[in-house]
């Protein structure tokens, strides 16, 4: 019994070490190595695109694409682009502001990263995104239940621009 536990512990340790010791891709010549997501994310980000590919629900032909671009945000939603403030202490808030600069609502929670995955944890929900950041733009991707049909089968893409390295 003890030998089985020891073997399992050894296998777990070995797999963790192999995972942590995998060689990383070499950066292109003349480019700086990419910083980890957790070091690049802190600051203030503003939504410039939201695109959701809504999948067919309940065997009906109800597929569609919902998309809002930066230049049409106010006209189509009556709101300014969403701002997300990622603090270095792993707290975040998202602010939803009306066109007249009145705050409509705020969401607050904790964030953490694991490689290219961002977890955002709020009191009643947890969100997980695959994030790619390049040249001041962050691409957030996930599958979610946008249409409320009970299936997380709708592809979400949010693109955000870093507007500040601080969260003031």
Q: Does residue 101 form part of some domain?
A: yes
Decide if 126 contacts 109 (C-beta within 8 A).
no
Q: Does residue 134 form part of some domain?
A: yes
Q: How confident is the model at residue 11 (pLDDT cuts 50, 70, 90)?
A: very low
pLDDT at 58: 63
Decide if 131 contacts 139 (C-beta within 8 A).
yes
Number of domains forming the structure of the chain: 1
**CATH code at 144?**
2.40.128.20
Question: Distance between the two ends of the chain, CA-based, in angstroms?
Answer: 56
Q: Does residue 41 form part of some domain?
A: yes
Q: Does residue 45 form part of some domain?
A: yes
Q: Residue 20: count other Cβ atoms within 10 Å of its Cβ.
A: 7
Q: Look up the domain containing 122 and give its range.
A: 37-164
User: For the segment 105-157, what is each residue's pLDDT rounded down to a tens digit?
Assistant: 999 999 999 999 999 999 999 999 999 999 989 999 999 998 888 889 899 99
* DSSP-derived 3-state class of residue 44: strand
Alpha helices in the chain, H assignment, sequence order? 2-20, 37-40, 73-77
């Amino acid at each position: 019994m003890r030998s089985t536990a020891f073997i399992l512990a050894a296998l777990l340790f070995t797999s963790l070490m192999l995972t942590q010791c995998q060689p990383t891709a070499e950066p292109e010549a003349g480019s700086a190595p990419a910083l980890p997501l957790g070091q690049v994310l802190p600051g203030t980000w503003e939504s410039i695109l939201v695109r959701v590919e809504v999948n067919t629900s309940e065997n009906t032909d109800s597929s569609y694409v919902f998309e809002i671009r930066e230049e049409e945000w106010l006209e189509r939603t009556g709101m300014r682009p969403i701002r997300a403030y990622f603090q270095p202490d792993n707290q975040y808030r998202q602010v939803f502001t009306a066109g007249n600069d009145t705050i409509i609502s705020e969401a607050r929670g904790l964030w953490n990263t694991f490689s290219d995955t961002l977890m955002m944890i709020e009191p009643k929900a947890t969100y997980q995104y695959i994030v790619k950041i390049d040249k001041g733009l962050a691409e957030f991707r996930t599958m979610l239940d946008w249409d409320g049909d009970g299936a997380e089968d709708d592809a979400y893409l949010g693109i955000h621009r870093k507007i500040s390295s601080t969260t003031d």
